[in-house]
């Protein structure tokens, strides 16, 4: 192997490592972009249907995404309150479940803090679970 080939191969390896690192660092952006492309592809037939019925393209996009956002808000408003009340009933009735939820929250906070490099606190179990679960000690 000549010096020129070794230099070329080294450059190729370094460029590959740099590209892999760039993809790794921008992975969350790529995931969001992929989700955005999937959502845009899913709502495109509705936008085209509105444009065929004499609605301008921009207004059709706005209407479809507005309807999608409104339906997400309505579903959340319908689903979240029963889930939270049922979860609070479970926590109130089972001390072990409360301890597991708090342990899971602590685990998530540690992992998110390690990944992001910042201190993360979802909620303080001592405040919210004071009457339900007392930590030992």
Measure the CA–CA gap between 24 and 18, rounded to whole angstroms.
10
What is the model's pTM?
0.51
Cα torsion 133, 135, 136, 137: sign:
negative
Contact 23, 30 (CB under 8 A): yes
What DSSP string runs through 94-129?
-HHHHHHHHHHHHHHHHHHHHHHSS---S--HHHHT
pLDDT tens-digit series, residues 81-123: 888 888 877 766 767 776 787 888 888 888 888 888 888 777 7
What is the domain partition of the chain in residue ranges? 3-93, 94-137
């Amino acid at each position: 192997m000549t010096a020129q080939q070794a230099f070329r191969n080294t450059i190729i390896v370094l460029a590959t490592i740099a590209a892999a690192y760039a993809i790794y660092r921008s992975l969350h952006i790529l995931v969001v972009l992929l989700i955005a492309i999937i959502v845009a592809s899913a709502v495109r037939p509705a936008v085209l249907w509105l444009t065929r019925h004499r609605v301008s393209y921009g207004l059709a996009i706005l209407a479809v995404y507005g309807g999608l956002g409104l339906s997400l808000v309505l579903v959340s408003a319908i689903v979240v309150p029963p889930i939270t009340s049922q979860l609070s009933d479970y926590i109130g009735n089972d001390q072990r479940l409360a301890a597991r939820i708090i342990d899971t929250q602590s685990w998530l906070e540690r992992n998110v803090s390690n990944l992001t490099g910042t201190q993360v606190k979802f909620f303080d179990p001592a405040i919210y679970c004071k009457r339900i679960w007392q930590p030992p000690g």
